[in-house]
Structure 1
Amino acid sequence: MEQGGEAWAGSGEGGSTGGGSVRARTEDARERLFRLGAEALTDLELLGLLWTEGPRGAGLKDVAEGGLTRGGLKALVQEDPRTLCARRGVGPARTSRLLAALELGRRAQRSPERRPRLRTPKDIHAYLAPTLGGLRREVFHVLCFNPRNVLVHDARVAEGTLSACPVDPREVFAATLSARATAIVLAHNHPSGDPEPSVQDVGLTEHLARAAGLLGVKLLDHVVVGDGAYVSMLERGLLPDSEREGRRKCGTPGGGW
């Protein structure tokens, strides 16, 4: 990260001092991107390619010192757009370009299959991580499956705050019944990055498991997504006994439903 900071230590593009040097560094980064691939560039150099000429002021350096060097790109993803926009030398145009690029990167990681077959907690995490990773607040999803473990609907049924997400069971099962699902997987994220389920998470899962049983729907798992990691409540033995019955082989990582 220090290397990137040094590469962009000059004044912002369009400034009266050092502007030519910054433009030269931009051209050098662009040339190396085509020659070596985008992965050869530092985070700050990649940001610099988005930083087209604009108002005077450091701008990019401010972003680096205020966010990129304290939490990396994740800090930028999670920052409120209005806060980022208000930084010196940033503004709405640069903010929109930056957030658009980050969102495109997130979407590029999503599965190209519209109805993937997801058979394990690991599969669920791989499917959800591009969508839930790096969000600034908790969200709650219900993944609806047919009898062949094919995903027929992915519904976001609740959005909360940094540390909580109230879930209405009626929204959970409205999505389930609308999709005519025979089985569901619950999933939510922890913006803190720690996927360890809370007491409230376990209590909600038990409540929803009872409701699913009354409707004849199998609750396969509740997966909590963190920063590059996840916790499967099924693998942890945190689902009610009736929900674990018949799926004991999923009690170890890599097992299927």
Structure 2
Amino acid sequence: MFKKLCLALLLLTEMAFAYHTTPEPVQKPAAILKDVMSFLYYKRDYLRLTEDFTGYDASMNKISTAEFFRQFATGNYLPLRLKSNFGGNEYRLYPLNAKVNKDLRSVLKGEGETDYRHFKMEAKPLPGLNYTNINGKVYNQQNTKGKIVVLKCWFIACTTCNAEIPELNNLVNRYRNRKDVLFVSLAFDPKDKLVAFSKKTPFNYAIVPVKESYIAHQLNINEYPTHLIVNKQGLVTKVVNTAHELTVALDHEAAK
């Protein structure tokens, strides 16, 4: 009995120590901030800000996700991923010093502004949901109610948009038995060019021609590709820029 009590106390002590110890970063800030490419490699390997995470300010005070993104958007911080003591994603806003060059500062500010803009789109209705695809099928608020709508914003000449199509086709195929999940793409190319594209390139999304102004001004999107998930209540739940991020977010939404 005494031995078990001692072990329990030891475990509690270790947990308390871990809780009050600042976690180590997954990579040293100096290495990440060496140049733009170093940051981009770090982003590829470690940044998962479209997934659920715990955020801390520069002093390691826990802050809301909204406040985390607001501060990140100022361009004064690096979102530094930490080695979590308890699992899950944790990030600290690491202040940039005077040695960080202006090109990297500009990249970080752009990343922060994009992430914050995307975050602020969440929990809001999708503007202008009234589309007709190249085959004449209509998508609107009435016939998409009670369904998850997965949207891709793109254009034919976008190399990255085209490169991810095979991965997106696999995603559509994985959800082929889910009649409550719709995949719709919004492209600002003319209808005839989109029809020609669809004949040459297998793309399992519905293809909808829209005006570029709709994507840029009503959806407030200026990066391509951009993916949005609209839940069964008609509210945006996630805005992301890669097929991998989309897959993670859709799996989460579809499991609800």
TM-score by length of 2: 0.27
More strand by share: 2
TM-score by length of 1: 0.27
Question: Which gives a bigger RCO, structure 1 or 2 (Cα 8 Å, sep 6+)?
Answer: 2
More helix by share: 1
